[in-house]
Amino acid sequence: MALRELKVCLLGDTGVGKSSIVWRFVEDSFDPNINPTIGASFMTKTVQYQNELHKFLIWDTAGQERFRALAPMYYRGSAAAIIVYDITKEESFQTLKNWVKELRQHGPPNIVVAIAGNKCDLSDAREVTEKDAKDYADSIHAIFVETSAKNAININEVFIEISQRIPAVDSGRRGREGFQTAPAAVGDPPHLLLMTTPRVSPETTRRPSNIQPE
Ligand SMILES: Nc1nc2c(ncn2[C@@H]2O[C@H](COP(=O)(O)OP(=O)(O)OP(=O)(O)O)[C@@H](O)[C@H]2O)c(=O)[nH]1
């Protein structure tokens, strides 16, 4: 079975739940006391999609403003970006729109964009309607889902939809930009200074924290 490596980055305001989404997807766990990401963290997970194996190389970026300038290192060469907002924070939806603009201007031309409205378990405190977000996502041809990392809602679905939207290998070989097959690591950010590896299952790896630019 063919193995494809797909670089995926997560972008969005601090505290919207990017790391929690990745943890839920890779480890199927949730930590209510998770620490803010410093720099970025990296995890992988391989899933079967039709007759291929898709190995997601996931770069979880830090949402804090002081790390914003690092983001291009992570979206460069990405097959897909998951831009996350918090449905209980209107401001995080505005930040999401800024990320979309930045990707348009500086990101890979054919990058698949997925919009995740996270914390849908907190719908009592909702500030962004599902309709507004869906209309916006449709207007930019992005995948849209409301997710809850806490309650494991729609987390796998985001990645399945990305797999569905990634162009077939053949069209990639004809020169489409913006997605990667095997050489996804080319141009990836350089290496991690801190390596604290928690639980690792056979199909997953995690190399979190403090990534420094060259
Ligand atoms: N209720 C609820 N809380 C969540 C959910 N996802 C994340 N959280 C909480 O939101 C807080 C921030 O989550 P993180 O995953 O660290 O957010 P982040 O976007 O990675 O933040 P940065 O690393 O600073 O960019 C934590 O307290 C999480 O437990 C969710 O789906 N529902």
What burial class does residue 135 get, using C-beta atoms within 10 Å of its C-beta: 0-12 exposed, 13-18 middle, 19+ buried? exposed
CA atoms of 40 and 192, how far apart (whole Å): 9
Cα atoms in the Cβ-side hemisphere of radius 13 Å centred on 210: 5
pLDDT digits (tens, 9 = 90+) for 138-181: 999 999 999 999 999 999 999 999 999 998 776 544 433 333 33
Residue whose Cα lies nearest atom 28 of ligand 1: it is 32
Q: Looking at the predicted structure, is the pLDDT value of residue 188 above 80?
A: no
- Which pTM was predicted? 0.85
User: Which ipTM value was assigned to this complex?
Assistant: 0.99
Strand, coil or helix: 188: coil
- Which of 34, 83, 86 for a ligand 1 pocket mutation test, highest count of atoms within 8 Å of Cβ? 34
Six-digit token string for 34: 């998770």
Which residues form ligand 1's pocket by a CB distance below 6 Å? 12, 14-20, 32, 34, 36-37, 62-64, 118-119, 121-122, 148-150
Residue whose Cα lies nearest atom 14 of ligand 1: it is 17
CA atoms of 150 and 30, how far apart (whole Å): 6
Q: What is the DSSP letter of 211?
A: B
Give the per-residue pLDDT at 25.
98
Give the per-residue pLDDT at 180.
38
19 close to 107: Cβ distance less than 8 angstroms: no
CA atoms of 120 and 144, how far apart (whole Å): 13
pLDDT digits (tens, 9 = 90+) for 84-106: 999 999 999 999 999 999 999 99
